Amino acid sequence: MPDDLSKAHRIEQIASTIAACRSCQLCESRKNPVPGDGDCNAKLVIVGEGPGAWEDEQGKPFVGRSGKLLDQIIEKHGELKRSEIFITNVVKCRPPGNRTPLPDEIKMCKDHLVAQLNTIRPRAILCMGSTAAQTLSGQTASLTRLRGRNLSGLNPAIIATFHPSYGLRMGESVVKLMESDFVLACSIALGA
Ligand code: URA
């Protein structure tokens, strides 16, 4: 099987595993699992925290207000189209009331994320928000300290930025920092 076909197949298998997953309580209250979507050959993977209400309804990541801000940032900078990126979350089922996922939920769901990353093998991962940044970098500092640089030094690069919901709350100054983190992640992903 050609490599990209087997990758697409593997990504579908991971999505089926997520749909059948009963490892934590989040499966009980979710409407739909949200495994993530996009290009299984993506050079850039974006990782958020967990699905919100819109994502839970549609089974797709970042389709609500946060997703609109993410779309604006992607479109404004134009290095990559959304369809060329793979977008997912640390936890694949909506935490009730959009609370932060609990450490156990993150731990149970991490295997799914690692399986996705090992299949796609991106050059860069952009972590949006401290849940994603801390889960993938293993560092516990605040986002203000973690953002704006490569936290791994290895392939894949790990870049942290603010979560779009924080950008929506704080306005232009934070959105500008998110844009510059996105440009950094794209330039590493595209090898510039
Ligand atoms: N917030 C996230 O972290 N992920 C989504 O998919 C939507 C909102």
Q: Where are the domains of the chain?
A: 2-189
Return d(Cα 54, Cα 16) in angstroms, integer.
Answer: 21
Q: What is the mean pLDDT of residues 169-176?
A: 98
> Is the pLDDT assigned to residue 139 strictly greater than 90?
yes
Distance of alpha carbon 78 from alpha carbon 165, whole angstroms: 22
pLDDT number for residue 25: 97
Would you say the C-alpha torsion 69, 75, 77, 81 has a positive or negative sign?
Answer: positive
- What pLDDT score was predicted for residue 78? 81
CA 40 to chain CA mean position, Å: 14
CA 49 to ligand 1: nearest atom:
3
Q: Per-residue pLDDT tens for 56-80? A: 999 999 999 999 999 999 999 888 9
Distance 50 CA to ligand 1 centre (A): 5
Q: What is the mean pLDDT of residues 144-162?
A: 94
Query: CATH topology for 2-189?
Result: Uracil-DNA Glycosylase, subunit E (3.40.470)
Please say whether the beta carbons of 23 and 128 come within 8 A: no
Rounded CA-CA distance 97/102 in Å is 13
pLDDT in tens, 24-49: 999 999 999 999 999 999 999 999 99
What is residue 158's predicted lDDT score, i.e. its pLDDT?
A: 98
- Residue 1: predicted pLDDT: 57
Q: What is the pLDDT, as a whole number, of residue 32? A: 98
Q: Which amino acid is at 40?
A: C
Which residues face 126 on adjacent strands?
46, 159
pLDDT at residue 2 in the model? 64
Nearest-atom index, ligand 1, CA of 54: 7
For residue 61, the CA-to-ligand 1 centroid distance in Å is 6
Q: What is the pLDDT of residue 84?
A: 98
pLDDT in tens, 126-135: 999 999 999 9
Ligand 1, pocket residues at CB < 6 Å: 48-52, 55, 61-62, 64, 66, 89
